[in-house]
């Protein structure tokens, strides 16, 4: 799984890991911060939250067009510095008056602009690593590994946010509202780590930095001469995929809004036994080690390698067994934001399984092309909301932040698991598809187009937020129906998309 990948993949992935850790630490508590600090109702908080997400994912279009002209690496560096200024401003406690609201708006704009210059252009650089013939067949698996690595940052983010907020309240005496700013300050530190990794590892990806025209390979020069008709066909196909992606992100990014509200209002605030253990991030890490060890055992290799993989299974299993006995009967407090750790955990755990499955299918000549995987991802996302819909029949309409019911936390954990299956079929594969299909002259702009689709989807996230005063099953049924319609659309044009895949 890890063999045969270009060295630059790991540097760029770790740089993104640091940035994503800060972003998701901030995002894990942001919707709750809007209510706690400013007293905004659900509708207002939904609008602010989704407009921020829209800007974060729309501005990569601007960043991509700028990078097509001035260089990808230059935009990445400028972007992460602007991001740092945004998080720094957001971490300053200014109260809840007009000045505080204005400062928050300025901070969100800086974070959005910085992300727009950084995120998409970094992924174009990752894609360029696979232009070399020896890496061409590793593109999809490379992006899956890249996606897995950045989710390591997201995995620890909710725990970091809650932990530093609790420390600020209990040890430093800050109010709950002011403690949110400590979580935002974590993002400042993580951005510094990200830029250090990027510069220190520069030698590993120097081949994808801006090159002069006289040094472009013959194969790349041939691609640059792509006919206008082929260029137009590829752009049209990408735009059709972007149309589907809009509705996936609308459904998926409910994790920071309606699914977090569901955790706050309808999910038990305590857990015991195995369920309680899942809310300790270290227990999740041990589970990930077990998965990797099992995958390693089935992948063959030397006797020494098998021994290492066996230890990766046995030692974490023993630690988990000890923790279970030690904490038997212990009641674990469940905070609403902590559920957001499950999605990145599942991404990290399931990526080797996904790569192994598609590698096995590829050897048999049966691996589905990227557009088919994207369509399947939409169907899987729909099934997640079928589960939520069925379990929500009979529940009353509510208005955040009342706590009215105590569902077993396993319901939300299962929903996040299903949504993660959908994400792995759609997101890293879709990004890989864009870097492969995009006309070379418009790589940055087309990657920006992927994020514009994500931005539009994130703006639509607010629709279920405005429906929160309706019976809950209607909210989930709406999301289910949207995912099904998007899947039907992509399968209706699958031959056209497969032609360029």
> In this predicted structure, what is the pLDDT of residue 268?
92
Structure tokens belonging to residue 443: 């790589």
Q: Which helix (H) or strand (E) holds 412?
A: helix 410-437
Closest Cα partner for 379 from 258, 230, 473, 244?
244
> In this predicted structure, what is the pLDDT of residue 68?
81
300 vs 356: CA distance, rounded Å: 12
> In this predicted structure, what is the pLDDT of residue 284?
92
296 vs 283: CA distance, rounded Å: 20
> In this predicted structure, what is the pLDDT of residue 423?
93
> In this predicted structure, what is the pLDDT of residue 468?
85
Q: What is the pTM of this model?
A: 0.78
The string of pLDDT tens digits covering residues 227-256 is 888 888 999 999 999 999 999 999 998 987
Cα dihedral 432, 437, 441, 444 in deg (nearest 10): -30
8-206+229-269+334-496 is classed CATH 1.20.1250.20? yes
CA 172 to chain centre: 32
Cα dihedral 233, 118, 349, 307 in deg (nearest 10): 110
- Fill in the DSSP letter of residue 256: G
The string of pLDDT tens digits covering residues 195-219 is 999 999 998 888 888 544 444 444 4
480 vs 85: CA distance, rounded Å: 39
| pLDDT more than 70, % of the chain | 95
CB atoms within 10 A of CB 428: 27
Angle at Cα 429 formed by Cα 377 and Cα 60, nearest 5°? 105
* Higher pLDDT pick, 418 / 365: 418
312 vs 295: CA distance, rounded Å: 10
> In this predicted structure, what is the pLDDT of residue 216?
45
> In this predicted structure, what is the pLDDT of residue 154?
79
pLDDT over 80 (residue 222): no
**Quick check: 484 and 276 in contact, CB under 8 A?**
no
Angle at Cα 138 formed by Cα 135 and Cα 139, nearest 5°? 100
- With tokens 């040094």, the residue in question is 215
Judged by DSSP in three states, 172 sits in coil
CA 173 to chain centre: 33
**Quick check: 309 and 297 in contact, CB under 8 A?**
yes
The string of pLDDT tens digits covering residues 454-501 is 888 878 888 888 888 888 999 999 999 999 999 999 999 999 898 887
pLDDT over 60 (residue 38): yes
CB atoms within 10 A of CB 254: 24
Out of 216-225, 358-367, 420-429, 461-470, pick the least confident. 216-225
The string of pLDDT tens digits covering residues 41-54 is 877 887 888 788 88
> In this predicted structure, what is the pLDDT of residue 225?
61
The string of pLDDT tens digits covering residues 113-135 is 999 999 888 988 988 888 888 88
Mean pLDDT of 140-168: 85
Mean pLDDT of 387-400: 82
Mutual orientation of helices 472-492 and 258-266 as an angle, nearest 10°? 150
> In this predicted structure, what is the pLDDT of residue 383?
97
Average per-residue pLDDT in the chain?
Answer: 87
pLDDT over 80 (residue 6): yes
pLDDT over 90 (residue 398): no
How would DSSP label each residue in 301-370?
--HHHHHHHHHHHHHHHHHHHHHHHHTTTPPEE--GGGGGGHHHHHHHHHHHHHHHHHHHHHHTT-PPPH
* Higher pLDDT pick, 225 / 380: 380
The string of pLDDT tens digits covering residues 165-205 is 999 999 988 888 889 989 999 989 999 999 999 999 998 88
Give 354's pLDDT tier (boundaries 50, 70, 90): confident
| pLDDT more than 90, % of the chain | 39
Judged by DSSP in three states, 270 sits in strand
How would DSSP label each residue in 439-455?
-GGGHHHHHHHHHHHHH
* Higher pLDDT pick, 419 / 292: 419
Structure tokens belonging to residue 22: 């800060």
> In this predicted structure, what is the pLDDT of residue 399?
59
Residue 121 has φ and ψ, to the nearest 5°, of -70, -35
> In this predicted structure, what is the pLDDT of residue 44?
85
């Amino acid at each position: 799984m890890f063999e045969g990948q270009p060295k630059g993949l790991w540097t760029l992935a770790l740089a993104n890991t640091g940035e994503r850790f800060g972003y998701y630490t901030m995002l894990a508590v942001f919707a709750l911060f809007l209510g706690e600090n400013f007293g905004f109702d659900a509708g207002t908080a939904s609008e602010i939250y989704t407009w921020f997400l829209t800007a974060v994912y729309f501005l990569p279009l601007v960043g991509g067009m700028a990078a097509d002209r001035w260089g990808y690496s230059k935009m990445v560096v400028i972007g992460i510095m602007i991001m740092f200024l945004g998080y720094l401003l957001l971490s300053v406690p200014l109260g809840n008056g007009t000045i505080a609201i204005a400062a928050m708006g300025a901070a969100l704009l800086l974070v959005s602009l910085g992300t727009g210059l950084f995120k998409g252009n970094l992924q174009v650089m990752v894609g360029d690593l696979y232009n070399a013939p020896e890496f061409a067949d590793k593109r999809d698996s490379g992006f899956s590994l890249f996606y897995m690595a950045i989710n390591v940052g997201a995995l620890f983010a909710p725990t970091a946010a809650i932990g530093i907020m609790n420390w600020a309240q209990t040890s430093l005496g800050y109010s709950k509202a002011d403690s949110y700013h400590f979580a935002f300050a974590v993002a400042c530190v993580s951005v510094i780590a990200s830029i250090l990794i990027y510069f220190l590892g520069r030698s590993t990806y120097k081949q994808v930095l801006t090159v002069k025209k006289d040094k472009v390979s013959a194969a790349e020069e041939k691609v640059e001469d792509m006919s206008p008709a082929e260029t137009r066909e590829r752009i049209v196909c990408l735009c059709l995929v972007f149309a589907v992606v809009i509705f996936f992100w609308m459904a998926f990014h409910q994790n920071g809004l309606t699914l977090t509200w569901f955790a706050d209002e309808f999910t038990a605030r305590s857990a015991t036994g195995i369920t309680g253990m899942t809310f300790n991030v270290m227990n999740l890490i041990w589970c990930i080690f077990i998965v990797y060890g099992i995958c390693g055992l089935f992948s063959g290799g030397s006797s020494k390698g098998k021994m290492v993989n066996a230890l990766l299974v046995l030692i974490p299993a023993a630690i988990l067994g000890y923790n279970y006995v030690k904490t038997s009967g212990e009641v674990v407090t469940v905070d609403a934001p902590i559920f957001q750790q499950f999605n990145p955990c599942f991404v990290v755990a399931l990526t080797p399984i996904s790569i192994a499955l598609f590698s096995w299918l590829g050897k048999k000549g049966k691996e589905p092309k990227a557009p088919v995987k994207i369509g399947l991802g939409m169907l899987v996302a729909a099934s997640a909301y079928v589960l939520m819909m069925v379990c929500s029949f009979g529940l009353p309409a509510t208005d955040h932040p009342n706590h009215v019911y105590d569902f077993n936390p396993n319901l939300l954990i299962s929903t996040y698991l299903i949504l993660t299956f959908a994400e792995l079929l759609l997101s890293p594969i879709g990004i890989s598809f864009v870097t492969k299909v995009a006309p070379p002259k418009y790589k940055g702009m087309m990657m920006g187009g992927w994020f514009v689709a994500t931005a539009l989807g994130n703006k639509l996230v607010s629709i279920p937020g405005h429906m929160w005063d309706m019976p809950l099953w209607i909210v989930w049924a709406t999301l289910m129906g949207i995912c099904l319609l998007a899947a039907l659309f992509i399968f209706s044009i699958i031959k056209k998309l497969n032609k360029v895949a």
